[in-house]
Amino acid sequence: MTEPTFSRIVSALPSTVPFVAPEAIERRCGRLFKLRLGANESAFGISAKAKAAMVEAVPSVAYYGDPENHELRAQIAHLHETTMEHVLVGSGIDDLFGLVAHVFLDPGEVAVASLGSYPTFRYFVAGCGGEILTVPYREHWTDLSRLVGEAKRVGARLLYLANPDNPTGTYHGREALRTLIDHVPTGCALLLDEAYIDFVPPREALPVDCDDPRVIRLRTFSKAHGMAGMRIGYALASRGTVAAFNKVRTQFGVNRLAQVGALASLEDPAFVHSVVEEVERGRSEYQDLGREVGIPTLPSWTNFVAFDLATTARVRRVMDALANRDVFVRTGAPPLDRLVRVTVGTEPERAAFAKVFREVIAG
């Protein structure tokens, strides 16, 4: 029997998994995690209004969702004081990464990012035959001037910045972003991954300007809205970019329950506000914990805190010890594998984590 032939791009790719899921680790270990603090999922559930809307919509899943995501796009446009032609809804930022790579990159073309930043963007770039070039972090911060310098040097089509960043949690404020945007080279688009933007105080956030064709901003309901399992997010971009996305996007990729849940969650800002407040409390508890046990923490504008254990060997020991106590956390990709990244849990989860972490560090 002869093998079917795969595309040249796919044939040349190594098999990779950008993230090993906690479920996969549980299957391998034959045990369940007691504390799931490794994927920056929300510990605070979903808005009661979003839940009610989704429950009510369950019987209608016999029908396809609206492929234009009309109502949700209208509400997103309203919130950002823009028009629906500037909004594209997808099944999470990861889905939108695939779309961005497809729309901007021909095989062999280049995207630039920080070495060690969020890994799925690179996965999608590779998947369409593109190439990722990286620049090192300056301490725990993306080196913005080096990033644009590299983009210019290599003629990059895309410049990727997660802001706030993952796995560091650090954030570049609006002045730094304005300078960055002014220096994005001609022919290159800035892809701003704003998965954690809900945790940034509005006065520090860059106002949305969808008429600037150089910038694409990605948002998700997976973090502060607590809907990671529903798979829904959106892009804010120029009309031209959204029109290009619309030529190749998956038409029915966003499910009905996600559509109604996301809409109801946007209409319940008090819920997200309460999550953000609780996350702030949790972050300062983790930072106090770090001080107590002598492990520095990085400043964070997200729903997680990165503990800097200084060496990869120590990270490995600590992660193994935590896993043995059924605690799921993650580290970064090299060279950020000095960090242990811990999601802010509920108050009892934070207390349970603190107890285990003290024991592990003392041992």
Within residues 29-58, the interface with ligand PLP by CB under 6 A covers: 40
- 303 near ligand PLP, rule: CB under 6 A: no
> Of the two residues 171 and 361, which places its CB atom closer to ligand PLP in the complex?
171
d(CA 224, CA 42): 6
Q: Measured from the CB atom, is 97 or 104 closer to ligand PLP?
A: 97
Task: Record the tokens describing residue 77, joined without a space.
Answer: 């446009």
Q: Give me the least distance between CB of 230 and ligand PLP, in Å please.
A: 9
Phi/psi of residue 206, nearest 5 degrees: -75, 125
Stretch that binds ligand PLP, among 55-63, 90-98, 144-152, 336-344 (CB under 6 A): 90-98
Map the footprint of ligand PLP across residues 197-236, applying CB under 6 A: 220, 222, 228, 233
Q: Examine residue 118 and tell whether it contacts ligand PLP (CB under 6 A).
A: yes
Could you tell me which residues come within 8 angstroms of residue 183 by beta carbon, excluding any fewer than 6 positions away?
145, 148
Contact 281, 94 (CB under 8 A): no
Nearer to ligand PLP, 195 or 289 (CB): 195
Q: Which is nearer to ligand PLP, 19 or 176 (CB)?
A: 19
Coil, strand or helix at 351: helix
Q: How far is the CB of 94 from ligand PLP (least distance, A)?
A: 4
- Asked if 248 and 102 count as a contact pair (C-beta separation under 8 A), the reply is yes
Q: Judged by CB under 6 A, does residue 129 bind ligand PLP? A: no
Pairing verdict, β 131-135 and 158-162: unpaired
Work out which of 110, 112, 147, 195 binds ligand PLP, going by CB under 6 A: 195
Q: Which stretch binds ligand PLP (CB under 6 A): 86-94, 142-150, 251-259, 280-288?
A: 86-94
**Residue 16 CB neighbours (<10 A):** 10
Query: Binding residue for ligand PLP (CB under 6 A) from 33, 38, 53, 92?
Result: 92
Distance CA 181, CA 170 (A): 18
Which tokens belong to 141?
């911060």
Verify binding: residue 193, ligand PLP, rule CB under 6 A: yes
Q: Can you tell me the distance from the alpha carbon of 241 to that of 235, in angstroms, rounded to the nearest whole number?
A: 10
CB of 41 to ligand PLP, least distance (A): 8
Binder of ligand PLP out of 47, 69, 114, 166 (CB under 6 A): 166
Scored b (16 or more CB within 10 A) or e, 159-183 reads: bbbbbbbbbbbbbbeeebbeebbeb
* Contact positions with ligand PLP (CB under 6 A) in 133-162: 162
* Separation CA 223–CA 220 (nearest Å): 7
Phi-psi region of 179 (alpha: psi -120 to 50; beta: other; left: phi over 0): alpha
Shortest spacing between CB 169 and ligand PLP, in angstroms:
10
What counts of helices (H) and strands (E) characterise the chain?
Answer: 13, 12
Closer Cβ to ligand PLP, 33 or 118, answer by number = 118
Q: Burial, 248: exposed, middle or buried (Cβ in 10 Å; 0-12, 13-18, 19+)?
A: exposed
Contact 233/120 with Cβ under 8 angstroms? no
Q: Which is nearer to ligand PLP, 42 or 241 (CB)?
A: 42
94: contact with ligand PLP by CB under 6 A: yes
Least Å from the CB of residue 349 to ligand PLP: 19
**Contacting positions for ligand PLP (CB under 6 A):** 40, 92-94, 118, 162, 166, 193, 195, 220, 222, 228, 233
